[in-house]
Amino acid sequence: MLYADYNATTPLDPEVRAAMADALGASFGNPSSIHSAGQEARRLVERARAQVAGLIGAEPDEIIFTSGGTEADNLAVLGVASAAPSGRRGVVASAIEHRAVLDPCAHLQSRGYKVTFLGVDAQGRLDLRALPAATAPDVALFSVMLANNDTGTIQPVAEIANAATACGAWMHTDAVQAAGKLAIDVKKLGVSLLSFSSHKIHGPKGAGALYVRRSVRMAPLVRGGRQERELRPGTENVPAIVGFGKACELARARLESDTRRVAGLRDLFESQVLACVVGTRVNGRGEQDLRLPNTSNIAFAGLDGEAITINLDMLGMAVSTGAACSTADHTPSHVLVAMGQSEAEARSSVRFSFGRDTTEGEIARAIELVVQVANLLREARP
Ligand code: PLP
């Protein structure tokens, strides 16, 4: 299979698999047990915590392990909102957040919180001019993603964090797509909370983390133990955490070489598809091209993105029309709609996302297949 859906998930790195195999075997102890089997498991969890912290410039004790990005986002939004003082019942998020942020925000809205969604421009970048109106003393939390999953557009998170701090609110960023593709330093970004996920960076599914700066006041979503600073109690998923730690270590070591190589392949793919298929345009690529290096979201005017996706799949190429969690409901990408596109325009788009294992040969084949399918569908139009 020609896999071009790395934003949905990534294959397990062989080194991650090897690290997990060890943790699945002899090191089966409960990290909370005081005997040596327990302490060996604890050692593995704490080593992984340091590896995870290293990817984002955090201290190990600021890392809370979760089951993935969705849980980390929920914990950030709901955990901060529910611990906020009664005078701070406001949350500000961007309109292009993943559902893992949007749905908790909608939940808060239904419970009487004031939630403000900030719009984006045609490139998918948050419009900073809307920020002053949103920065009010009753805001508890700002949540704006570091990079978007559909278009790869990178958001001005440091600027938003400044505004959040100035009005006494906490700043959360969903870095699920950015991790492993951009250099991240929580201190430089000025964020107090940051979510990321193991399976997007060649680690196992079912592991993720929320960075929580020490000063943040928040409440847990589940109760029942002392693990993870009592913010995420429950016996740790040690093999998945070990794999996540290894994946972070590899992502950090390979960041520069991986991203430089993948960006070159992505640019080649884009330029060839645009040159060979009429009516194509890249979503989210503005003049400055502030995008993730691996993502290419292409609109095929007059064609149906889903038809392209299905036809490519029949030819052995995996791509996507948007977030994996919203493909089942056939709605057009809310991200492209927020960028001002009509439903028809948004439906004509396909997301291609490449990664560590993508080869030059695969890119050549991907160009061939996309051109073939798009031209075939165009000819078949009534
Ligand atoms: N946030 C973003 C931006 C994502 O792209 C995803 C997954 O696609 C998530 C959150 C959810 O992460 P997970 O699949 O680990 O629950």
Please choose from 65, 146, 200 the residue to mutate so as to test ligand 1's pocket, defined by most ligand atoms within 8 A of CB.
200
- The answer to whether residues 245 and 259 belong to one domain is no
Q: Is 68 in the pocket of ligand 1 (CB under 6 A)?
A: yes
- The answer to whether residues 185 and 77 belong to one domain is yes
- The answer to whether residues 231 and 313 belong to one domain is no
Q: Is 69 in the pocket of ligand 1 (CB under 6 A)?
A: yes
State which residues form the domain around 181: 14-250
The domain boundary residue, chosen from 250, 275, 299: 250
What pLDDT shows up at residue 286?
85
CB 196 within 8 A of CB 166: no
- CATH number, domain of 35, equals 3.40.640.10
Atom number in ligand 1 closest to CA 73: 10
- Select from 265, 266, 294, 125 the least CA-distant residue to 201: 294
The domain boundary residue, chosen from 231, 250, 269: 250
Q: Is residue 136 part of a domain?
A: yes
**3-class secondary structure, 13:** coil
Kindly give the distance from the C-alpha atom of residue 77 to the centroid of ligand 1, in angstroms, as a whole number.
Answer: 14
**Residue 61, CA distances (Å) to 48, 295, 336 in order:** 11, 32, 38
Atom number in ligand 1 closest to CA 100: 10
d(CA 341, CA 347): 10
Q: Is residue 381 part of a domain?
A: no
Kindly give the distance from the C-alpha atom of residue 100 to the centroid of ligand 1, in angstroms, as a whole number.
Answer: 7
The domain boundary residue, chosen from 250, 279, 300: 250
Q: Is residue 194 part of a domain?
A: yes
Q: Is 150 in the pocket of ligand 1 (CB under 6 A)?
A: no
What pLDDT shows up at residue 327?
52
Q: What is the pTM of this model?
A: 0.97
- The answer to whether residues 299 and 221 belong to one domain is no
What pLDDT shows up at residue 124?
96
Q: Is residue 234 part of a domain?
A: yes
Beta bridge partners of 161: none
Ramachandran area for residue 190 (φ above 0: left; ψ -120 to 50: alpha; else beta): left
Q: Is residue 380 part of a domain?
A: no
* Two tokens, residue 275: 């040159």
- CATH number, domain of 326, equals 3.90.1150.10
- The answer to whether residues 181 and 266 belong to one domain is no
Give the DSSP H/E element, type plus range, for residue 92: strand 90-94
Half-sphere exposure of 380 (CA within 13 A, CB side): 11
* Two tokens, residue 360: 């030059």
Q: Is 237 in the pocket of ligand 1 (CB under 6 A)?
A: no
Give the DSSP H/E element, type plus range, for residue 2: strand 2-3
What pLDDT shows up at residue 219?
97
Q: Active-site residue numbers?
A: 325
Helices (H) and strands (E) in the chain, counts: 12, 12
Kindly give the distance from the C-alpha atom of residue 136 to the centroid of ligand 1, in angstroms, as a whole number.
Answer: 29
Number of separate domains in the chain? 2
- The answer to whether residues 239 and 264 belong to one domain is no
Kindly give the distance from the C-alpha atom of residue 105 to the centroid of ligand 1, in angstroms, as a whole number.
Answer: 16
- The answer to whether residues 265 and 240 belong to one domain is no
Q: Is residue 18 part of a domain?
A: yes
Kindly give the distance from the C-alpha atom of residue 69 to the centroid of ligand 1, in angstroms, as a whole number.
Answer: 5
In this structure, which residue's CA is closest to atom 8 in ligand 1?
8
- The answer to whether residues 344 and 363 belong to one domain is yes
- The answer to whether residues 26 and 102 belong to one domain is yes
What pLDDT shows up at residue 288?
86
Q: Is residue 365 part of a domain?
A: yes
Q: Is residue 382 part of a domain?
A: no
- The answer to whether residues 145 and 130 belong to one domain is yes
Q: Is 70 in the pocket of ligand 1 (CB under 6 A)?
A: yes
Q: What is the pLDDT of residues 235-294, one digit of tens each?
A: 999 999 999 999 999 999 999 999 999 999 999 999 999 999 999 999 999 888 899 999
- Compute, in degrees rounded to 10, the torsion defined by CA atoms 224, 226, 230, 236: -90
- The answer to whether residues 218 and 291 belong to one domain is no
pLDDT under 70 in the chain at which residues?
322-330, 382
- The answer to whether residues 92 and 207 belong to one domain is yes
